[in-house]
Chain A
Amino acid sequence: MFFVTNNSTKSRAGYKKKFDSLGLDIPAEEIFSSSFAAAAYLEQTKFKESGKKVYIVGEVGICEELDNIEVPWIGGPDDAGKQPDMGPGGRLEHDEDVGAVIVGFDRFVNYYKIQYAQLCINENENCEFIATNLDAVTHLTDAQEWAGNGSMVGAIKGCTGQEPTVVGKPSPLMIDYLCTKLGLERSRICMVGDRLDTDILFGTDNGLQSLLVLSGVTSEEKLFSPQNTITPDYYADSINDFFLEGSKTSGSTSSASSATS
């Protein structure tokens, strides 16, 4: 099994700590955060050979993953709280060696970071615009829905007119990486998630089986609403239903988890 998350605020190592704190002993190699996906993308595209830097709009997870692959970066948490010089004749000096801007969820996003990213993307030749994910909302805390990286990415799209390369779900990048590196067969993989537009789409778009669980943000109403166009192979209350008491091994439909019920 592998554990993927579109949340880029922690690195793989950071997420291992979270798993540990919850009493789950998961090897780091089984964890795929979108911060790790961004670094994997830079490795795939041999970014290090360009000798360029990365400007990060995001938190420490991306910084740690870039350190792991020895790609130099600037920005990230260092630029929280900064304001550019906007007096008469003021300008923000940006590093012309930035070859890619990576945008991940950033609770400390501000105008300084937006302007820095805009200058890099619009003025540095062939500067890439990479996004860890596009989730509109996320569960920062379980008390409400919080604006997600869709807003940080939206801000940079809005001042550059460019579409980013998305490395997290539902982009195929993480699946391609897994299948290539580990020689997996797609039809024997099952994607399990609680969001239709990231998790299940990730599954259906990439030839995987898919299971929607109702233990997260999506309700049965949302799944069956006329506006929904994404159909998982099955849905269940949670992954505990894999071992549902009274489930049959073949033939009959179990009332708790059939797609037709």
Chain B
Amino acid sequence: VTILIALCPFVTKTAFLLVLSSHASIKFRSMMKFGRFVFPTLLASASAFSPKVAPRAFTSTRTALNANVLKLSEPTKEILDKTDVFIFDCDGVIWRGDSLIPGIPETLEKLRSLGKKMFFVTNNSTKSRAGYKKKFDSLGLDIPAEEIFSSSFAAAAYLEQTKFKESGKKVYIVGEVGICEELDNIEVPWIGGPDDAGKQPDMGPGGRLEHDEDVGAVIVGFDRFVNYYKIQYAQLCINENENCEFIATNLDAVTHLTDAQEWAGNGSMVGAIKGCTGQEPTVVGKPSPLMIDYLCTKLGLERSRICMVGDRLDTDILFGTDNGLQSLLVLSGVTSEEKLFSPQNTITPDYYADSINDFFLEGSKTSGSTSSASSATS
């Protein structure tokens, strides 16, 4: 192609460029493979002609891999027309800490009016679905509880899937009230949780911690009141009760407990139990496929028509790419453009945008040309 272009008269080059520009946003990505060759050739031989589509600038911070990540510029064509169901991560997409991100209620309304289904998933297990509904309510968002998937709910759904109740066993909880409430909802007996905050085991001479031999699973979720008593209790259950399961709601290293700083996440609680048992947990939250399998099975959804929207590459976007979903990274949370394009990053969403409000960006075109406000080349 390069040779042909170089050999062609000027008129043919112009025609070629017009063809290119009309397929700019979608086909552009696949043409980038030889774009590096084509464009210098074109530019060198057509000095009086300025291409309608500017070449993508290869800055030193972008790897060839990440050069394939486009900024959302034609949301209808790029995502809305291809998607029936949206899965939104909550923190960094809908809210930040305790504050709603501006514009979100209107954006969600518009999506509903387009007939889009939506679900809200969060790896934070401290609240149950019902607890999260209260948070949505307090922010002025009227979301049905059935649309909310907290990792506490995911843990209960996993126990239902595996018919845990039939074993007649109990669950030991390292975690907060969200997990307790979800287990109550499915009538699985549990011990621990907030009850064990502030306890110290008997560590005097001959001291021991008596543990319940009927515990058949330990669920570890984010726990601001984690202590040695809980760690020891979990260790005894996992190491000494036959076939005792080790379940983790999520592995997030850091979380936005408050919006003032990054806080150690459930990765630390799970790390503590891994460190004294040598066991790997079954993870029910993102990026594990569990919540997706549950949604698709229970609701008959088609994966390719689902778009995962989140602010974290290693949980949200990986959740999308690993499970055959479309994926959109938003910069309204913890991930910056630099992080997305850094050489260390290996996770590529289909698109990225400043926030989900960009679905209805003023001036976005439905086809062809690139809008200057959100073009990847700007």
Contacts and interface: CB of A to CB of B under 8 A. Distances in A.
A90 interface: yes
A28 B128 CA distance: 55
Contacts, number: 141
Given A136-B276, A143-B206, A91 B261 contact: yes
Interface stretch (B111-119, B185-193, B264-272): B264-272
Interface string A127-160: 0000000101100111111111111111111111
A147 B235 contact: yes
Interface in A87-102: 87-92
A155 B251 CA distance: 11
A186 interface: no
Given A86-B224, A111-B224, A137-B235, A159 B278 contact: no
Given A141-B204, A143-B207, A144-B208, A152 B275 contact: yes
Interface string A87-128: 111111000000000000011111100110011001000000
Q: Which of B206, B223, B267, B277 has the most CB of A within 10 A?
A: B267
Contacts of A83: 224
Contacts of A107: 200, 203, 228
A90 B275 contact: no
B254 A90 contact: no
Interface in B72-126: 97-98
A115 B269 CA distance: 12
A216 interface: no
B263 interface: yes
A27 interface: no
B207 A155 contact: no
A82 to B, nearest CB: 12
A152 B272 contact: yes
Given A86-B258, A137-B235, A155 B97 contact: no
A158 B236 contact: no
Contacts of A119: 261-262
Interface residues of A, number: 44
A167 to B, nearest CB: 17
**B-side interface size class:** 35 or more
B236 to A, nearest CB: 7
A134 B61 CA distance: 38
Contact of B275 (A91, A106, A142, A150): A150
A161 interface: yes
Given A119-B261, A140-B203, A141-B207, A155 B268 contact: yes
B276 A88 contact: no
A161 to B, nearest CB: 6
B255 to A, nearest CB: 9
Given A91-B258, A150-B275, A158 B267 contact: yes
Nearest to A136: B276
Nearest to A150: B275
A154 B209 contact: no
A141 B259 CA distance: 42
Contact of B205 (A136, A141, A148, A152): A141
A154 B258 contact: no
B251 to A, nearest CB: 7
A134 B207 contact: no
A90 B258 contact: yes
B253 A158 contact: yes
Nearest to A157: B271
B328 interface: no
Nearest to A119: B261
B225 interface: yes
B228 A147 contact: yes
Contact of B208 (A143, A150, A152): A143
Contacts of A146: 203, 232, 235
B276 A89 contact: no
A61 to B, nearest CB: 16
A151 B275 contact: yes
B273 A90 contact: no
B264 A137 contact: no
Given A91-B258, A137-B235, A158-B253, A147 B276 contact: yes
Contacts of A111: 223-226, 264
User: Which 8 pairs show the lowest CB-CB distances between chains A and B?
Assistant: A158-B271, A154-B275, A158-B267, A150-B275, A147-B276, A159-B264, A154-B271, A143-B208
19 contacts: A86-B263, A88-B97, A90-B257, A91-B260, A109-B226, A118-B254, A118-B264, A134-B275, A136-B275, A137-B235, A141-B207, A146-B232, A151-B273, A152-B275, A153-B275, A155-B269, A158-B268, A159-B264, A161-B267
Given A118-B264, A141-B206, A148-B275, 8 more contacts: A86-B258, A88-B258, A111-B223, A154-B272, A155-B269, A156-B271, A158-B253, A160-B253
